[in-house]
Chains A and B, each alone.
Chain A
Amino acid sequence: MTSRVVAALGTALLHHRTIALVLEPALADLTFEDATSSQRGRAAAHKAAWAALGWALWHDVVWEPRGPAWTRGAGMLATLCGLVAAYHAAMLTLILGFDGRLRSTAMADVLTGVSSVTVALWVVVSFAAGVAWVVRRTRWATEP
């Protein structure tokens, strides 16, 4: 269980080199100790695997010259959030006007409907983008 969760988190968040040099050896130790050690040794190995994931994240954030593996994804997400926020700000301005007073009820209804559809689309698209971002990275065991 620990191996699978740590490997999955590592695959989503770390550079493949960090996975190969930091996470894989720690997980290999975990597998090795799971088969050969006492219960206490196994507990320590599980704890060490989580610690290795923490240190690997720290390594990618602080040391990795390319920056954290999720930087590009986070930048894209921030851009999309910004676009949606700007769109809704524009809609609100059209509905309320610059002075904050509602101009037309019919226009408000239309724009509210459009906004609702956009929010629903935004949720679907961002969920799909998040899933694609995770899946885009191939399985860590088969990466070069």
Chain B
Amino acid sequence: MSDPLPSISPTESVIIDLLRGRERYGLELVDQSGGLLKRGSVYVLLSRMEAKGFVTSRLDDSPRPPAGATRRLYVATPYGLKVHQAYGLLRDALALRPSGVRP
């Protein structure tokens, strides 16, 4: 039996878009999302996405004030970008459904 298809939610798509080819902090994602992401839940989302292989993270090694606060940087993986792109194509294809047919 084949593996189940990966799924990506609209919120996860927003995160992948923001992390395309650029490392960002969680708070940066919240600020850039225009209210779509919440500060309290963003790290759980990112953790789930990391478990699914959509993003990867590392501890920030650059010295920043205040000392002792090691923040985590996130970036989209090629796999995450691929799934995001595939779902985009699927959405576009299904948007061409005949009129009167409910999704």
Contact = CB atoms under 8 A, between A and B. Distances in A.
Interface stretch (A52-60, A110-118, A131-139): A52-60
B86 to A, nearest CB: 23
Given A29-B71, A48-B39, A51-B38, A35 B48 contact: no
Interface string B40-63: 110110111010000001000000
Given A21-B47, A21-B57, A51-B38, A31 B26 contact: no
A8 B68 CA distance: 17
A124 B73 CA distance: 46
Given A35-B66, A36-B65, A28 B44 contact: no
Given A32-B71, A36-B65, A21 B43 contact: yes
Nearest to B30: A48
Nearest to B46: A21
Interface of B: 25-27, 38-41, 43-44, 46-48, 50, 57, 64-66, 68-72
20 contacts: A21-B43, A22-B44, A23-B43, A24-B72, A25-B26, A26-B39, A28-B69, A28-B70, A29-B39, A31-B68, A32-B69, A34-B66, A35-B69, A36-B65, A45-B39, A47-B39, A47-B40, A51-B38, A52-B40, A55-B40
